[in-house]
Structure 1
């Protein structure tokens, strides 16, 4: 079973390099396995007071002519649920995003803001956009890093640092990030966008829509769901609804699990849609 999806962008998602997103002790191995046509230019590392480590990477893919902004969030051992899923995250306390009508989870926003502005990830990308004027910019994120990728792409579009037709947004096991106003901004300004969800991953189910006293969070379209692993040739579904019951939202709360967000996500050279 599959769905035919028509985007406002000119072509379907066709990433041209092997992307491996590893967590915990596998990060160095991931970086060392980059294809020869991809050059890692800079890493940004942020240690939060709660123990979360947020990493941002900027790279160049010379073959695909793309600037790559990648985000990951790492917490190890028993700290995972105390840092990534602390009380502020669960209650979905919100912050206004970049002067827009959109509201985003404050826990996610504060971490992104420090990485983006204080550590200078935005400035690095601005410099590269000025040098590689014809390159696309790919925003990629895993887990909580997916939320940061969403905020990063909107921030650059708000400031007209890059055109809509040159950006791609791909997230893997991302949390919900903002309210419907934020989602509408993503869907209006980012025509090329996909959320990849692996199996019974619990992370995309948080913050829960009915949690907290604030405006409920929502996902944007389009979800690509791999229900039974992500090996080459694995079956997947592309759903047109933001919280589509035909995709991972069909799973009940007792069916989801943290193990499916472990970072062993492989995106190979393939079309999501044939």
Structure 2
């Protein structure tokens, strides 16, 4: 498949500056020196090997920051960008495939890639987030005004927009490829991730793999970043039971997207467990594991759920997510 050009992948960040704050101002505000980043990497290289006999249950910032988040960022890039990111993150890996489909919006596309980390004994699947302003507009409109569809659980509903995009990608062979690789790489885990729209797609993919393909949930790690509400309370309840092993939604304070669609609309609800950063997400800064139900009032919802109290968060872990992926996951 011909690689997609990357010229428009950061477009949303240029077209949609939060509350009239320029991206230059944001970059200066959240800047961290490359020296500090390199030092943090060097002191956090000893990651556990995850397999059937040794399983990590708890959220660890360094694992998410250095192993999972770069995958979500890499999904914004071309095949070359993805391989560059994998080279930066994983000592030994195999890039398998990057699927791209057309989705709603002017010149909009959606994508997912799959790779294997030999070092970590993991099959990694990452979905790209919203890449243009018009795509975000379609996402909001169709989520609000299109009927929800029955989830893969057969209980609870998900937004038509998210389900439709996932279905297009899955027809290309996404979950089928995961199953094929699991048969080849016995005992490996499946790590699934995505940012923004990609987080919603990652959740639906994880639900299908666990519920329909019968992958044991203790073999799956689902981590999303800035994920919108993907389904209703019924879907959230099933996610909490069928994907309770290692399932985290990473949220930075005042992120607009995590409040879309509004909670009061059509019973949309987040599933647990939220990991909340009420700071700039610098290395060593605190985070909170939110235990107050699926919608903890002391976490992302503490600032209210109306758009006036939120901004479009483009920086996570001090990185502009799309730009970081397009850079090959170095610097940013």
Q: Is this a same-fold pair by TM over 0.5?
A: yes
**Alignment partner of 1:221 out of 257, 268, 272:** 272
User: 2:93 & 2:258 partners in 1: Cα distance?
Assistant: 29
Aligned to 1:33: 85
The equivalences for 1:232-247 within 5 A come to: 232-240=283-291, 241-247=293-299
CA contact (8 A) 1:53 1:73 kept: no
Residues 1:190 and 1:167: Cα distance change in structure 2 (over 3 Å): same
**Structure 2 residue ranges without an equivalent (≥5):** 1-54, 325-332
Deviation at 1:10, TM superposition (A): 6.2
**Alignment partner of 1:178 out of 224, 227, 231:** 231
Greater strand share, structure number: 1
**Alignment partner of 2:128 out of 72, 80, 99:** 72
Rg larger for: 2
If asked which structure has higher relative contact order (CA below 8 Å, sep 6+), I would say 1
Deviation at 1:29, TM superposition (A): 4.2
Greater helix share, structure number: 2
Aligned to 1:91: 145
User: 2:138 & 2:74 partners in 1: Cα distance?
Assistant: 15
Are 2:189 and 1:136 equivalent residues in the alignment? yes
Deviation at 1:221, TM superposition (A): 1.0
Aligned to 1:42: 97
Deviation at 1:84, TM superposition (A): 2.7
Residues 1:33 and 1:231: Cα distance change in structure 2 (over 3 Å): same
CA RMSD between the two structures:
2.4
Secondary structure of the 1:228 match is coil
- The total of aligned residue pairs comes to 252
CA contact (8 A) 2:152 2:212 kept: no
Secondary structure of the 1:107 match is helix
Secondary structure of the 1:73 match is coil
Deviation at 1:24, TM superposition (A): 9.6
Aligned to 1:11: 57
Deviations 1:219-262 (A, max 9, x none): 01111111211221122111112111111111132220113468
User: 1:113 & 1:227 partners in 2: Cα distance?
Assistant: 34
Q: TM-score, normalised by structure 1?
A: 0.83
**Structure 1 residue ranges without an equivalent (≥5):** 1-8, 267-274
Aligned to 1:271: none
